[in-house]
Amino acid sequence: MVLGENLWEPNNVPEGLRLLIDRPWIVIFGLSYTVSDYLLFLNQADVGMFFDSKVINRVIMNRVAIFIDGANLYYTQRHLGWSVDFQKLLKYFSDQYKIVQARYYVASPEPPSDEQKAFNRFLISTGYSIKSKLLKKITIKESGETVLKGNLDIELVIDALVSSDQYDIFILFSGDGDFLPLIEAIKSKGKNVFVYSTIGLSSIEIVSELGMNFCDLNKMRSIIEQIKPKQKDTLIKSAQIAATDGTSNVIKNSLPNIGDIFVGQVQSVKNYGIFLVNPFNSKCLLPIGQLGVTKYVTDLTSIINQSDLFEVEVYNIDTTNIVPEITVKLVDRSKSIEITSRII
């Protein structure tokens, strides 16, 4: 048998050895691998790449499972002041490991908003699987205030434990201390655990956990951030021009790309969101859910001024109608704080 021949393919192993194929018995760098994994490694290896760490990581099946607490990561991004590019995030890990799962957990309203549906479609097309459940309306008796609540912590925990045989490395995007028992349980199974969040929002129990591989997202900013377009200053100017005469001398009859950032001025206000004058001559909606306010809003029209300027990021573009429709989210944290302060 010669290294690299098809005889090394797991499917060519005699039937009598089939029972061994999926049994973890080879231990390399403290991790167990099946015969299938080892044969696949031998079949793809050659002398020049044998000690290449990236090849070893991927071929010997350092299998990675990524679990994202959507709500926690959302508030982490708001705290940091920049947004994660989920395509870059997945590529960052796939360049180093074999991704066997990439799960995103999020609560959604009923019915789901257009922006939520668009974001979900984007994640699925990128390679994530989504687990969602409906937000619940809870009325606080003392104040009569109605708040929305949604939590998928239990679903994440169950999925992580049930599928633990499928991965060697568990990656959690959340700083929620409620996940500490899950982390300890997975570590007890001999898995490597990495937690991604940021100092200041993460539970002290997680940050200080003995042997914890805690990774601050700020250190990954240059790798996974959604890049703002270089033409930002030009777009700001064009938005101001469009606000005064309804046209744009800079960008006309063109559409932005997902992730582009520009400044828009108020065109009209509805209780569900703000329509913005924009440099693309398109219908542009900033939904109330993307304003980043931290208080319940009963009447959006009463707290938005015609003179307000909003620095926003495009996350959905719909060209099915004659006039293209753009959906954006507010990226200026100071504006979110300002609007929140106007709520009585």
Percent of the chain with pLDDT over 90: 27
Instruction: Point out which residues pair with 330 in neighbouring strands.
Output: 312
Q: For the chain, how far is it from start to end, CA to CA, in angstroms?
A: 79
Domain check: are 46 and 107 in the same one?
no
Range of the domain at 257: 232-342
Number of structural domains (the chain) is 3
Domain check: are 24 and 121 in the same one?
no
Q: What is the CATH number of the domain that holds 292?
A: 2.40.50.140
Domain check: are 107 and 194 in the same one?
yes
Which of 224, 249, 283 delimits the end of a domain? 224
Q: What is the CATH number of the domain that holds 201?
A: 3.40.50.1010
Residue 2: per-residue pLDDT? 39
Residue 163: per-residue pLDDT? 95
pTM above 0.85, yes or no: no
Which of 18, 40, 59 delimits the end of a domain? 59
Q: Range with the lowest mean pLDDT among 36-40, 42-46, 197-201?
A: 42-46
Alpha helices in the chain (DSSP H): 18-21, 35-44, 53-59, 70-80, 86-94, 114-126, 153-162, 180-188, 204-207, 221-224, 232-245, 333-342
Residue 208: per-residue pLDDT? 77
Q: Indicate the helix (H) or strand (E) that contains 105.
A: strand 98-108
Label residue 61 left, alpha or beta by phi (over 0 means left) and psi (-120 to 50 means alpha). left
Q: Is 115 contained in some domain? A: yes
Domain check: are 19 and 73 in the same one?
no
Q: Which of 33-37, 135-139, 228-232, 322-326 has the highest mean pLDDT?
A: 322-326
Domain check: are 196 and 133 in the same one?
yes
Domain check: are 196 and 250 in the same one?
no
Q: Are 293 and 343 in contact (CB under 8 A)?
A: yes
Residue 145: per-residue pLDDT? 67
Q: Is 1 contained in some domain? A: no
Q: Is 69 contained in some domain? A: yes
Domain check: are 182 and 41 in the same one?
no
Residue 146: per-residue pLDDT? 61
Domain check: are 162 and 205 in the same one?
yes
Domain check: are 213 and 107 in the same one?
yes
Domain check: are 254 and 198 in the same one?
no
Q: Are 215 and 202 in contact (CB under 8 A)?
A: no
- Give the SS3 label for residue 16: helix
Question: Residue 183: pLDDT band by 50, 70, 90 thresholds?
Answer: very high
Q: Is 189 contained in some domain? A: yes
Looking at the predicted structure, is the pLDDT value of residue 102 above 90? yes
Domain check: are 248 and 154 in the same one?
no
Residue 332: per-residue pLDDT? 86
Domain check: are 216 and 240 in the same one?
no
pLDDT in tens, 288-299: 988 988 788 888
- Rounded mean pLDDT of 178-189? 93
Residue 338: per-residue pLDDT? 86
Q: Is 173 contained in some domain? A: yes
